[in-house]
Amino acid sequence: MHAMKYTYRLTLTVVLAATLGGCASKKDVVEQYQREARTSETEARSADAEAFHRSAAERARELGPAEQSDTLLGLGVQLQSQQRFRESLAPLGESVAKAQEAGMPPTAVALRQVRLAQSYGALNRWKEGAAVLKSAMPSALDLTGDDGKLATDVIEVYRTRLPELGLDAGFLN
């Protein structure tokens, strides 16, 4: 019964969003999917959250690179939360590229790069992650709040792990 309620809600939301598609702008539809994804995350419904993130990312393909970057970041973070790091690489990598294409602020690009480096580290692909993290510096140090905490944590892991592997970590100082 409980699962049926969620399925009904998801179906209703998708139908609503499809209906809105005829009346609302494409950007409004994408934003609705993103709101539903965040609600699903809050309610610990990861399958629903992922579906909404995927729908937002697909619909954002018709929008500009900044909107595409944001939706791809959301999908990548959702996949990371499920420890699906290999699957998170593509959306996070594309999010970085779209953020750069859109001319987003250096901290916005750095956040995406830190997330990407986090996934590379989780996959034991330290050299690739270090290259991405090096590119994020020093803007990653300017991140604040939860993003700043994430950047600090990822940098610290790399600062410890890279020398153990005989790789240079000097760029992290």
Q: Quick one: pLDDT at residue 112?
A: 97
Long-range contacts of 20-24 (CB under 8 A, 24+ apart): none
* Domain contains 138: yes
In a domain, 33, yes or no: no
Report yes or no on 4 lying in a domain.
Answer: no
Which pLDDT value is given to residue 27? 76
The answer to whether the beta carbons of residues 157 and 119 sit under 8 Å apart is: no
| Whether pLDDT at 171 is above 70 | yes
3-state helix, strand, coil in the chain (%, to 5): 85, 0, 15
Is residue 122 in a domain? yes
User: Is residue 25 included in any domain, yes or no?
Assistant: no
Residue 100: Cβ-neighbour burial (10 angstroms; 0-12, 13-18, 19+)? middle
Give the structural domain span for 172.
96-173
Within a domain: residue 162? yes
State the pLDDT confidence band at 98, using cuts at 50, 70 and 90: very high
9 domain residue, yes or no? no
| Secondary structure letter of residue 141 according to DSSP | G
User: pLDDT by residue (tens digit) across 48-81?
Assistant: 777 777 777 788 788 889 999 999 999 899 899 9
Within-domain flag for 79: no
| Residues 6 or more apart whose Cβ sits within 8 Å of residue 57 | 68, 71, 72, 74, 75, 91
Q: What's the number of domains the chain is made of?
A: 1
